[in-house]
Amino acid sequence: MTDRLSAATSTAGHNRHDTLIPRPRIQPVSPVERLLLGPGPTSVHPRVLGATAAPTVSHIDPIFISIMEEVKELLRYAFQTENAFTVPISGPGSAAMEASFVNLLEPGDKVIICRNGVFGNRMVQIAERCRAVVVAIDDEWGEPVDPEKLRQALQAHPDSKVVAFVHAETSTGVLSDAEALSALAREAGCLTIVDTVTSLVGVPLFIDAWGIDVAYSGSQKCLSCPPGLSPTTFSKAAIDRIRARQTPAQSWFLDVGLLLSYWSDDSRVYHHTAPVNAIYGLREALLMVAEEELPAAWSRHSLHQRALSVGLEALGLELLVAERYRLAPLTTVRIPANIADKTVRAHLLDRFGIEIGAGLGPLAGKVWRIGLMGKNSASTSVLRCLEALNAVLIELGADLAQGIAVERAESLYRSNAGSR
Ligand SMILES: *Cc1c(COP(=O)(O)O)cnc(C)c1O
C-alpha cells in the first residue's frame, strides 16, 4: 500500500492525490491494567472481557435471540422483578435515564423530582426538555431524599403523574430509602422512575416488592461490565401509560413502544443493531451475579465499604455521609485542608495504578469519591487503596497517624472472618 494514490488513479478534481488528506501517523496508546476505584467504570472481570471476544453473530441470528432471552431472565433476577419489559438499552446509563422520562412524560404532565445530587439534577433537565411541569424538591448534597418533603409535595400537587428520584446518588455517596419513597408515590397514584445505576447488585433492591415502575442501571458499575449498556425495567402500569400516550415519545431511538417489539420473544421487529458482543459480556456478568446470589453480593459490598470507612477514618479523614446513609458501592471522603486534590489523584494513578473519583458540582475539590463496585468490592482493593492513599498523603505533608489504616481494616476483616 502506498500512501498516495498512484498517478493512474489520480484523475481530475477531487480524486487528485494532492487533495488527499494524508493518513494519520499516530503512536497508539495502550490501555494498562488499572484498579478502578472511581464512580464508574469499575474494573471488568476477565470472564466478562473473555465473553465479549466470542464470535459476533447477527442480532437476528437464533443464537443471539436465545441469548437475549437469557439476558432478560437474568436481569429480572438482578432487579427482582417479573416485569416482561426488562432489557438492556443500547447506550450508557444516561440513555436509559432519558428513555424513562421521554416515554412516561408527555408535554404538560407534572412530575415531582427529588434532587440531592448531580443525577437528580439531570433528571430535572431531561424532564424539562420533555416539556413536563417539573416540581423539584431539594435536599442537601450528602443527605438522603427526605420522604416527608415528598409527602408534602404530593399533597401540594395532587395532579402529579410521576415521581422520580435517585436510589444511590453516586455524586455524594448517599443511599435514599427507595421503598418508602415509592410507597408514598404509589399511594398518591403516581408512577415512579428510580435511578438504580449504582445500586443494582450493590445494595438491596426489590423492584416488584417496593412497587417501582421504571428503573434503570448501567453496565459499568456494580455489574463490572464495560460501559455502554443500560439495564432497564418497566412495569405493566408503565407500559400501559406509554400505550395510552396522546403524542409519540420525542425520541425515536428510545421509544419503548418500538423497543418492545424489538425485544419481544415472538415478533422481533428490526429497530437497531444490538451491540452483540457487549451483550455477551453483560450476560456473563449477570451469570456471575446469579452464581454469587444477590444477598451475598449485597453483604460483600457492605463489608468492604465498612472496612474502607474504618481505614479512612484511621487515616484521620472525615467521611461526608452519616453512617446510616452511606452507600456501599461508593464512599465520599473529605479532602484534608492544604492537600491538593489533583496531585493526590495523579499520584495514585501514575504511581499506584489506582483511580479514585473527584468531587462534582458543589463538592468539587472538597471530596474524593472512592468506588468499591462489583469485582472491585474486595479486600485487595480496600487494602491497596488505603496503603497508597496513606503513602501519598504522608508524602504531601498531611498530618496522619501512619500505618494504622490498613491495620484497622484488617482487624475489621478478622472479626468478619469467612466473609471476604
Ligand atoms: C453513572 C451514573 C449515571 C450515568 O451513567 P452513564 O453510563 O455515565 O451515562 C446515572 N445515574 C447515576 C446514579 C450514576 O451513578
Specify the residue with its C-alpha closest to ligand 1, atom 14.
197
Please, what are the domains in the chain?
A: 46-291 (3.40.640.10), 293-415 (3.90.1150.10)
> 165 CB less than 6 Å from ligand 1?
no
Global pTM value: 0.94
Sign of CA dihedral 287, 288, 292, 294: negative
- Order of strands across the sheet with 133-138? 85-90, 229-234, 214-216, 191-195, 162-166, 110-115, 133-138
Residue pointed to by grid coordinates 423492584: 207
CA dihedral 12, 14, 17, 21 (to 10 degrees): 170
**How far separated are the first and last CA of the chain, in Å rounded?**
56
Residue 14 is predicted with a pLDDT of 60
> 172 CB less than 6 Å from ligand 1?
no
pLDDT digits (tens, 9 = 90+) for 168-217: 999 999 999 999 999 999 999 999 999 999 999 999 999 999 999 999 99
d(CA 136, CA 145): 12
> 170 CB less than 6 Å from ligand 1?
yes
Closest CA to 183 of 216, 213, 142: 213
d(CA 393, CA 255): 49
- Residue 398 Cα to ligand 1 midpoint, Å, equals 33
Residue 418 is predicted with a pLDDT of 61
pLDDT for residue 3 is more than 70 = no
Pocket of ligand 1, candidates 42, 94, 169: which has the most ligand atoms within 8 Å of its Cβ, to mutate?
A: 94
Specify the residue with its C-alpha closest to ligand 1, atom 12.
197
Residue 335 is predicted with a pLDDT of 96
> 195 CB less than 6 Å from ligand 1?
yes
- Residue 256 Cα to ligand 1 midpoint, Å, equals 20
State which ligand 1 atom lies nearest to the alpha carbon of 40: 1
- Residue 94 Cα to ligand 1 midpoint, Å, equals 6
The answer to whether residues 40 and 218 touch, using CB atoms and an 8 Å cutoff, is yes
**Structure-block grid coordinates of residue 321:** 455521609
pLDDT digits (tens, 9 = 90+) for 215-244: 999 999 999 999 999 999 999 999 999 999
**Structure-block grid coordinates of residue 272:** 437497531
> 121 CB less than 6 Å from ligand 1?
no
Specify the residue with its C-alpha closest to ligand 1, atom 2.
197
What's the gap between Cα 151 and its chain centre?
27
List of residues 6+ apart from 293 with CB closer than 8 A:
none
> 197 CB less than 6 Å from ligand 1?
yes
The answer to whether residues 262 and 114 touch, using CB atoms and an 8 Å cutoff, is no
- Residue 271 Cα to ligand 1 midpoint, Å, equals 24
Pocket of ligand 1, candidates 113, 170, 254: which has the most ligand atoms within 8 Å of its Cβ, to mutate?
A: 170
> Phi and psi at residue 201, in whole multiples of 5°?
75, -20
Quickly list DSSP for 248-314: --S-STT-HHHHHHHH-SS-----S---HHHHHHHHHHHHHHHHH-HHHHHHHHHHHHHHHHHHHHH
- How many CB atoms are located within 10 Å of the residue 25 CB? 6
